Amino acid sequence: MNAQEKHPHVRGFGMASARSRARLVERLRSLGVEDETVLAAIEKVQRHQFVDEAMTSRAYDDTALPIGYGQTISQPYIVAQMTSLLIADGLPESVLEIGTGSGYQAAVLAEILPSIYTVERIKPLYERARKRFAELGYRQVRARLARDGVLGLPDYGPFDAILVTAGAEKLPTSLYEQIADGGRMIVPVGPSGDQRLMVIHREGSSFVEQTLDAVSFVPLIEQRADERTS
């Protein structure tokens, strides 16, 4: 029994066909996505459940869509690219996602991995995503509300992989110690209009930085020092 059959009350029941998801996967293949594990996960996830009702007709387009509060659900190609980088050296046991947003990226990870923690600073988005995870049966996703995602979740780490789904002006070095030895962090870095995807590999006390493709993400908002102490 799939998630829709278990939860027929979920918004959008019956709107998304397997054919729509299959077309999206073929589109991603044509763009060079090769990891079949990632493609299978994207084909399983009901993206229409993670967008606003007015956007359901565009849910399986390969494009970012607004979800309110100045945030977006990421383009499926970017989700596929970041997920592929995350599992390139094997499947991590534990993952921390910074920026839950709609919850779509975490859901794709949950189709592959056993344990995902995800942090969101905007309370209404956190509440919606948490509800979606429960309704769709993603019990291995643990959502947390945090005023500053750049601080991560030190009480739950270190993590085999960290995925940052918002653009950081500079590398969030505050997260480095939450990367497990041999693990990695994937993060878009740079000002709006000039962001690059970066992969940070940890080997003992050393961190190797690798710069990849140009990307475009909403900004990662850090809490000011005076707000942290208020």
* Active site (catalytic) residues: 74
Task: Write a three-state SS string for 163-224.
Answer: EECCEECCCCHHHHHHEEEEEEEEEEECCCCCEEEEEEEEECCEEEEEEEEEECCCECCCCC
Cis peptide bond upstream of 158, omega within 30: yes
Cross-strand pairs, 189: 168, 196
Which whole-number Å values give the CA distances from 82 to 69, 108, 122, 123, 228, in the listed order? 23, 11, 22, 25, 30
